[in-house]
Amino acid sequence: MIYTRVLILKFENPIHQKEITLFRGAVIQAISKEANVLFHNHQEDNYRYSYPLIQYKRINGCAAIVCINEGTEAIGQFFSECNFSFQLASRSLEMKVNSVKANQCLVQLWESPFHYRIRKWLPLNSDNYKEYIQMDGLSEKIALLEKILIGNLLSFTKGIGIYLDSEIKCKLTVLNDPVLVMNKGVKLMAFDIEFQCNISLPEFIGIGKNASLGYGIVTQVKPNKQ
């Protein structure tokens, strides 16, 4: 069995969703110019086209960093070189660590499904957006989103070096009306959904577009205790 390592670094400092990109930039600026590629996903003149192993987020309204596998080792550079004085545009912040939690998750398929929630998921690109808005029936839209969701989950598993020998099965159980968010000057549809799936996933990972910048955060929905 191969366990996926996850480290969640939470700060006490509240930030706005729009400040996550600035937060990422401040982290990169706070460490040396030779920052590990996992902090920014850029390699010389190329982009690292793979699942992001260091992700910048807003958890419970506060700044957070989620590190996965090799990212849990790279975060040591942040602690050794950062002075925790951040500049987010015109706002100066003295970052205070709230908690550092390290976990291991067995990412694999199971017979029984798990229940998850995703916040601010960006599933649609320019091609499937046109397909989505031309659909009249809700069942058609749900089927398309389920297909995209499975693709996003496969990108995650492949990105952490796990290759499944069976089929991921997903079923949307809650689909809220999407909201429009701006991404690099382009309006995108962000969805809050709940779904059941036969794969175990680490808490607070991101899936879909801009997973490294606070979109598509996955959390498990715990069953109600009777």
Same domain flag for 215 and 120 = yes
**Is residue 87 within a helix (H) or strand (E), and if so which, with residue range?**
strand 85-88
Q: Strand pairing partners for 121?
A: 191
Q: Are residues 93 and 125 in the same domain?
A: no
Number of domains in the chain: 2
Please tell me the distance from the alpha carbon of residue 13 to that of residue 60, in angstroms, as a whole number. Answer: 10
In 3D space, the residue among 168, 199, 220 whose CA is nearest the CA of residue 4 turns out to be 199
pLDDT of 83 reads: 87
pLDDT given for residue 185 in this prediction: 77
What CATH number does residue 15 fall under? 3.30.70
Name the burial class of residue 149, with classes exposed (0-12), middle (13-18) and buried (19+) by CB atoms within 10 angstroms of its CB.
buried
Q: Which residues of the chain have pLDDT under 70?
A: 32-33, 35, 42-49, 225-226
| Partners of 87 in beta bridges | 92
pLDDT of amino acid 162: 94
Residue 191 belongs to some domain of the structure? yes
Q: Tens digits of per-residue pLDDT, 180-193? A: 998 777 889 999 99
The answer to whether residue 146 is domain-embedded is yes
The predicted pLDDT at position 226 comes to 46
Alpha-carbon dihedral sign for residues 86, 88, 94, 100: negative
The reply to whether 185 falls in a domain is: yes
Do 134 and 216 belong to one domain?
Answer: yes
Instruction: Note down the domain range covering 38.
Output: 4-105
